[in-house]
């Protein structure tokens, strides 16, 4: 099986997972409609239609969260597949300027299709590349619906700057329950994203191969102040500075 066939098979599997979630959601709405059509006298003894409706709503919300994760995984796979195909179709760049132009064209195509800014499209392409090449456990968990897109983005962020072995170790710690050093307690996908980021960042700091002093010196060169206009004559002023 060549790489193009493998990618198509994985995308088809992701599409099937989304379709399955959609069918499950439809079943919840169908069950609710059936109960609404049952006269009060037709309810079994002790039945509480409002309680059942509330439970169905919560179950449907949980399934919807899983569907959103599976849809995000499908978007990642399709974006990465498009990037690979577009790069293969493009002629060899004759100069750095032409290479940059080709990259910008790919970003512009994705931005146009998704109706997002080119900055957002560029971030999606970068995330899709990282997830599809260096973070297979994270992408698999996203497709399974056990973590959200926010959790997946945190893994991408916190493995940035790590080598392949370091990235694999971090995601195995949080996403592989059979790993020798697997995280204990609440699964990563059941943690709120802010709590998961704190745990992932703590692990990264403890296991990073480069000393904090060296990384701090390098990062300090990127210090900056940003100004972002807001509505009603207001604005946001933020600074990225040594702590």
Compute CA distances 80 → 86, 121, 131, 140, whole Å.
Answer: 10, 12, 9, 15
What is the overall mean pLDDT for the chain?
A: 87
Interval 137-166: pLDDT, tens:
999 999 999 999 999 999 999 999 899 999
The whole-number pLDDT of residue 185 equals 85
| 1 has a pLDDT exceeding 60 | no
Q: Using an 8 Å Cβ cutoff, are 196 and 215 in contact?
A: no
Reading the block at residue 182, the tokens are 């697997």
Per-residue pLDDT tens over the stretch 70-103: 999 999 999 999 999 999 999 998 899 999 999 9
Would you say the pTM of this structure is higher than 0.75?
yes
18, with CB counted inside 10 A (0-12, 13-18, 19+), is buried
Give residue-wise pLDDT tens across range 171-180: 999 999 888 8
Tokens of 57: 């709503």
Percent of the chain with pLDDT over 90: 59
């Amino acid at each position: 099986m060549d790489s193009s066939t493998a990618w198509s098979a994985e995308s088809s599997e992701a599409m099937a997972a989304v379709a399955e979630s959609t069918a499950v959601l439809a079943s919840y709405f169908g069950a609710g409609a059936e109960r609404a059509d049952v006269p009060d006298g037709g309810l079994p003894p002790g039945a509480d239609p409002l309680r059942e409706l509330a439970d169905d709503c919560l179950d449907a919300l949980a399934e919807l969260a899983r569907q959103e994760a599976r849809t995000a995984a499908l978007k990642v796979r399709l974006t990465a597949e498009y990037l690979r195909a577009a790069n293969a179709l493009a002629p060899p760049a004759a100069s750095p300027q032409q290479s940059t132009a080709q990259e910008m064209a790919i970003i512009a195509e994705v931005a146009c299709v998704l109706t997002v800014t080119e900055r957002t499209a560029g971030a999606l392409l970068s995330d899709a590349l990282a997830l599809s090449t260096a973070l297979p456990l994270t992408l698999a968990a996203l497709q399974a619906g056990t973590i959200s897109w926010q959790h997946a983005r945190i893994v991408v962020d916190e493995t940035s700057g790590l080598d392949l072995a370091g990235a694999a170790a971090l995601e195995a710690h949080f996403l592989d329950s059979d790993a020798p050093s697997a995280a204990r307690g609440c699964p990563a996908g059941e943690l709120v994203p802010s709590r998961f980021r704190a745990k992932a960042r703590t692990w990264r700091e403890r296991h990073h191969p480069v000393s904090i002093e060296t990384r701090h010196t390098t990062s300090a060169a990127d210090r900056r102040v940003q100004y972002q206009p807001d509505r009603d004559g207001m604005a946001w002023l933020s600074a990225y500075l040594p702590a």
